[in-house]
A = this chain, B = another copy of it.
């Protein structure tokens, strides 16, 4: 019979844990965005406690993955960036949480 990876943990081989979301900083960003609609950059910085440089570089990564939408506009001649979770970002976030729970529960306590 063809040799397999261990058959009694079929999920373990198949579970995809999104490394983009698995980084605690990005998880935190996404979980804040999950609860609000559009939020501006400075407010998100305050919510997450990140530095501007840090937040900016993570948002770029999340935007590149299509997980967030970034809108830039000028309000009274002042630059203003707002961020929102995209539909695919919301799905990815829920899938991450689902798969993580499965992974965590596979091992008895």
Q: Which residues of A contact B (CB under 8 A)?
A: 5-6, 12, 17, 19, 22, 24, 27-28, 31, 34-35, 47, 49, 94, 97, 100-101, 103-104, 106-107, 109
Contacts and interface: CB of A to CB of B under 8 A. Distances in A.
Contact of A17 (B17, B24, B107): B24
Contacts of A100: 100, 104
A7 to B, nearest CB: 13
A108 to B, nearest CB: 8
5 contacts: A6-B47, A94-B109, A97-B104, A97-B109, A101-B104
Nearest to A104: B97
B35 A107 contact: yes
A109 B100 CA distance: 14
A19 B5 CA distance: 27
